[in-house]
Amino acid sequence: MKKVYLDYAATTPLDNEVKKAMELYQTVEFGNASSLHSFGQIARSAIEKARQQVADFLHCQVTEVTFCGSATEANNLAIFGIVKATQKRGLKPHIITSVIEHPAVLEPFKMLAKLGVEVDYCSVDQQGIVKIAELEKLIKLNTVLVSVMYANNEIGTIQPIAEIANLLKQRKAKIFFHTDAVQAVNYLDCDVVKLGVDLLTFSGHKIYGPKGVGVLLVKKGINLEPIILGGHQENGLRGGTENVAGIVGLGQAIKGINNYELRITNSEKIKSLRDKLMDGILQKISGTSLNGSREKRLPNNVNISFGGVEGESILMALDQEGICVSTGSACASGSLDPSHVLMAIGLSHQKAHGSIRFTLGKTTTEKEIDSVLKVLPNIIKRLRAISPFK
Ligand SMILES: Cc1ncc(COP(=O)(O)O)c(C=O)c1O
């Protein structure tokens, strides 16, 4: 049975070009980039080449690119880094984020709140778009950071980042603006000048690059306190011997998508398959509804609630057919919590529990979409017949 992978928001396979680029630095050129001899210098120049590739994509200076161990770490560095730098100046920071962020942002906020930092969460409308008027009201004289994701990982909703940046720029005191662009990088314009952000995060493994490497863009002049202490690597912002092969792979992956025409073509192709899947499910299966915005949505995301049935059961039944998808639920401490994102857009517990996320990738085919549309109606019918939710 040929498997159908529809979980590209979770992770993506390595591109062949990326694999090829990385191989050399895993074996022959294995030097430590901090070493002064030629092995070290070759590793160093490979890292700097990747940094340039990222800078070209983000339209920023090379010195503004910091490599980290993941996007989770990059988000932590952005948030703790700004807060700690503010506290170091003897000030009491206030920070704001949205209720639908990834845990890599929400958990640092939770921890900082526990440590006594003033924290606020901005709600979203029923489509998952941040309520800008509410955000504006949350801003205080001591607000130092606003963090709003570019596109949501569960429902694919795209946030008005440039609009939020403009709003923040109108304030007298500087408010740093961070965006988690992990899910956006494959499809959306990430020119940081146009976006107007100060800090931006993304990850290698969501863009057909390697796992275990992420990027934090920090605009020139912003003072961040490091959270990992040790070596002087990454300009003192991130101690630890650099993952040279991983960084080279990330650079190659970003180079691969830094082609405007190719991005548009890929996005259009994926979008038409997405629409076929979305409309197919909504039309063929009764009691279904789309979660998130139809228009302001990533081209690869479909998130649907199936009334009267558990998402976990759908996932397992699809897996038995070789189709790999994801639910919005997170198994926490033995209990199955509904997705905080689906709850934030106003879904009931039951609807949130009955949701499935399908995320398409650049190699997704029409045949694969057809196979989902063929098996899914029967799966739902069968599960509904035995569901305790009826
Ligand atoms: C929006 C978003 N932010 C952050 C992360 C974390 O990325 P990483 O796996 O590189 O830590 C993810 C991963 O799913 C994500 O979707």
Q: Is residue 289 part of a domain?
A: yes
Q: Is 70 exceeded by the pLDDT of residue 385?
A: yes
Tokens of 384: 């509904």
Q: Tell me if 5 is assigned to some domain.
A: no
Give the pLDDT of residue 390.
Answer: 61
Reported as a single tens digit per residue, the pLDDT across 306-321 is 999 999 999 999 999 9
Whose CA is closest to atom 11 on ligand 1? 72
Ligand 1 center from residue 230 Cα (angstroms): 25
Q: Is 98 helix (H, G, I), strand (E, B) or coil?
A: strand
Residue nearest to atom 16 of ligand 1 (CA): 153
- The gap from C-alpha 185 to its chain's centroid, in whole angstroms, comes to 8
Report CA(180)–ligand 1 centroid distance (Å): 8
Do both 270 and 247 map to the same domain?
Answer: no
CA of 71 to the centre of ligand 1 (A): 6
Task: Tell me the mean pLDDT in the region 5-17.
Answer: 97
332 lies in a domain?
yes
Ligand 1 centroid to 201 CA: how many Å?
Answer: 9
Q: At what angle do helices 38-58 and 244-257 cross, to 10 degrees?
A: 30
Same domain, 99 and 228: yes
CATH of residue 274: 3.90.1150.10
Is residue 11, in this structure, part of any structural domain at all? no
Buried residues in 180-214 as b, exposed as e (16+ CB within 10 A):
bbbbbbbbbebebeebbbbbbbbbbbbbbbbbbbb
| In a shared domain, residues 20 and 132 | yes
Whether the predicted pLDDT of 332 surpasses 50? no
Query: Is residue 349 domain-shared with residue 246, that is, in the same domain?
Result: no
Verify that 275 and 372 share a domain, yes or no.
Answer: yes
β-bridge mates for residue 216, sequence order: 66, 201
Residue 250 lies in a domain: yes
Domain span holding position 212? 16-257
- With the most atoms of ligand 1 within 8 angstroms of its CB, the residue from 11, 153, 185 to mutate is 153
Can you give the pLDDT at residue 261? 84
Domain match, 93 and 139 both: yes
Domain count, the chain: 2
Ligand 1 mutation target, pool 8, 149, 179, 203, most atoms within 8 A of CB: 203
The pTM of this model reads 0.96
CB 104 near ligand 1, within 6 Å: yes
Task: Answer with the one of 227, 257, 287 that is the final residue of a domain.
Answer: 257
Average pLDDT over residues 105-129: 98
Among candidate residues 257, 272, 288, the one where a domain is terminated: 257
Catalytic residue list: 331
pLDDT surpasses 70 at 329: no
Q: Check whether 226 has a pLDDT greater than 90.
A: yes
Atom of ligand 1 nearest to the CA of 152: 1
Which protein residue's CA is at the shortest distance from atom 12 of ligand 1? Answer: 182
Is 340 part of a structural domain of the chain?
yes
- pLDDT (tens digit per residue) in 230-255: 989 999 999 999 999 999 999 999 99
Name the residue with the closest Cα to ligand 1, atom 14.
10
Shared domain check, 231 and 277: no
Same domain, yes or no: 187 and 305: no
- Tens-place pLDDT, residues 140-165: 999 999 999 999 999 999 999 999 99
What stretches of the chain adopt beta strand conformation (E)?
A: 4-5, 65-68, 94-98, 118-122, 143-147, 176-180, 199-203, 214-218, 288-290, 301-306, 323-324, 326-327, 330-332, 335-337, 355-359
> Is 70 close to ligand 1, i.e. is its CB under 6 Å away?
yes
- pLDDT band for position 389 (50/70/90)? low
Question: Domain check: are 215 and 275 in the same one?
Answer: no
Q: Is residue 4 part of a domain?
A: no
Q: Which helix (H) or strand (E) holds 111?
A: helix 103-114
Residue 9 within any structural domain of the chain: no
Q: Tell how far the Cα of 72 is from the centroid of ligand 1, in angstroms.
A: 6
Q: What are the residues whose beta carbons fall under 8 Å from the beta carbon of 20, sequence distance 6 or more? A: none
Q: What is residue 334's predicted lDDT score, i.e. its pLDDT?
A: 47
- Angle at the Cα of 350 from the Cα atoms of 344 and 354, rounded to 5 degrees: 95
Instruction: Give the CATH number, domain containing residue 243.
Output: 3.40.640.10
Last residue of a domain, one of 206, 240, 257: 257
Q: Based on the domain organization, do 274 and 229 belong to the same domain? A: no
239 and 285 part of one domain? no
Q: Give 178-192 pLDDT, tens digit per residue.
A: 999 999 999 999 999
Residues 334, 315 within the same domain: yes
pLDDT over threshold 90, residue 336? no
Residue located via tokens 């493994």:
205
Closest atom of ligand 1 relative to the 71 alpha carbon: 10
